[in-house]
Structure 1
């Protein structure tokens, strides 16, 4: 049963995530392409893949807005509901993987600077990123088969998307979701915590390290922690509860909706990683300040002449 005010909440969160996440993702994408063309580093390649994951997610987000505007009924071509799994859900999982790789890369850079300068590190990074995408696609394929396989009935366009499952489909999905908790949340969170704690600890012991670099490391750690606790934790908790109760929790859609804020918090990661991103933010900040001053001056003059 759909609660009347609930779709409004979903739509509001989707709009916030889209308006904040898309400009940052596009800006980060441009910065990554520019950096890779000049002098690429492993972190730039990983960041580019994280940005692509966010862009795929944000590109499909207007479809979810339409669903929320229609009171959570699916009034669009049903093929889009099938793509929902690949373009809305799986980018959430790929984000956790690339955030984990970023934390590992930062730790290796600080803890093993000599090995980090290996000339083949770019090749290794590309192979790792390709492996992650392949893993995500294979996982999505198995999930799709579990969700839609063995069903001969065609759901009409007024049904809810990715909600109506046969008992067999739901049982298979609940098992896969439980495995996702370990593969895409617990293990990545443990690795990220280990890497960032040790990275910050090492940076604090080095007297020649600039304060801004330490702050960026802390910012990346906090940004990653926000993504995992606010965006990923509730959604993965719904997987655990669903497996225990053998049904979809009623609050699962709330947790899934809040996971869309992942695209907003990733901007913190982009800002801490990329110098070009920080420079672009400073330019935008100065532009907004100048615009505000001019608007304020205009209204002062208008009041005087009035």
Structure 2
């Protein structure tokens, strides 16, 4: 296990724990907010974001298995069936998130570019059907995990102590081309669609003078958050697919590329904030905004008082000295 020796598993464990502690409460807040909205005339955007939150929560619920793997030095002493299930969920939710972010971008673009047609097509049923298709597409692609893990190996004599690593040449012939296809279809395509949609959304908003400044700023925030997730969280891991296919072997640094993908669950709540009035107007978010505003206001007041005290001290010093 030369690869494991090159990887600092404590760094991996620390990132997983941090992601779990931040991502879980944030996404629980989001799912409760969207769940309430689903019973009261949900918009297509609410349905897409609900599925994105659900994907993040499923990811976080299975993250303790990756924590266990990191804690024991990147070894796997549990069953290979549990390994395949945990890996399958882990990777499926990553690509479900990228496709749902793409669907959200498309929804925003159509709503701005074709408002009249959008009103006719703005039905929750379409968003629900789209979400189901996205789950099925990502789940079908990631089924390669089961095929790879449970492929019979006649030369194996000892039980495997790693999870979804150290592939045979026979496994690589199937796995590496599928990974390359996932890189193109489940990453590059959604990224290009998001770039196209958000550039056009920002152009449309700034070409209409009657649109409020706040709405324009939210569109920019939404675009920046989405592109940050694609480039910071998803790009390193997907690049490992491209490198692995060209070199016919998984790169040794692939473990580290999984770390940014976990941070996706911490960044998605920012997407919820910029794209959903339901999330922005929730009670908990409103309380947080008030607390931050009061905290900032208190800091400003303390700064003003401190300046006045310094002026008084200087005046006193000039009078008596």
Q: Structure 1-normalised TM-score?
A: 0.89
| 1:301 aligned partner | none
| 1:245 aligned partner | 247
| 2:309 aligned partner | none
Q: Deviations over 1:203-242 (max 9, x none)?
A: 0111111111111111111111111111111111111111
Q: Deviations over 1:62-100 (max 9, x none)?
A: 111111111111133433211122211110011100000
Q: What RMSD over aligned residues (CA atoms) do the two structures have, in Å?
A: 2.2
Q: CA deviation at 1:281?
A: 2.0
5+ unaligned residues in a row in structure 1: which ranges? 294-306
Q: CA deviation at 1:258?
A: 1.9
| 1:273 aligned partner | 275
5+ unaligned residues in a row in structure 2: which ranges? 299-321
Q: CA deviation at 1:17?
A: 1.3
**SS at structure 2 position matched to 1:117:** helix
| 1:104 aligned partner | 106
- 2:195 equivalent to 1:193: yes
| 2:48 aligned partner | 46
Q: 1:182 aligns with which of 166, 181, 184?
A: 184
* C-alpha separation in 1, matches of 2:289 and 2:122: 38
- 2:20 equivalent to 1:18: yes
Q: CA deviation at 1:290?
A: 8.0
Higher CA-based Rg: 2
Q: CA deviation at 1:143?
A: 4.1
Q: CA deviation at 1:5?
A: 6.8
**SS at structure 1 position matched to 2:143:** helix
Question: How many residue pairs get matched?
Answer: 292
* C-alpha separation in 2, matches of 1:261 and 1:80: 23
* C-alpha separation in 2, matches of 1:282 and 1:40: 20
Is the 1:147–1:170 Cα contact (8 Å) retained in structure 2? no
- 2:89 equivalent to 1:87: yes
* C-alpha separation in 2, matches of 1:192 and 1:177: 21
| 1:156 aligned partner | 159
**SS at structure 1 position matched to 2:257:** helix
Is the 1:148–1:169 Cα contact (8 Å) retained in structure 2? no
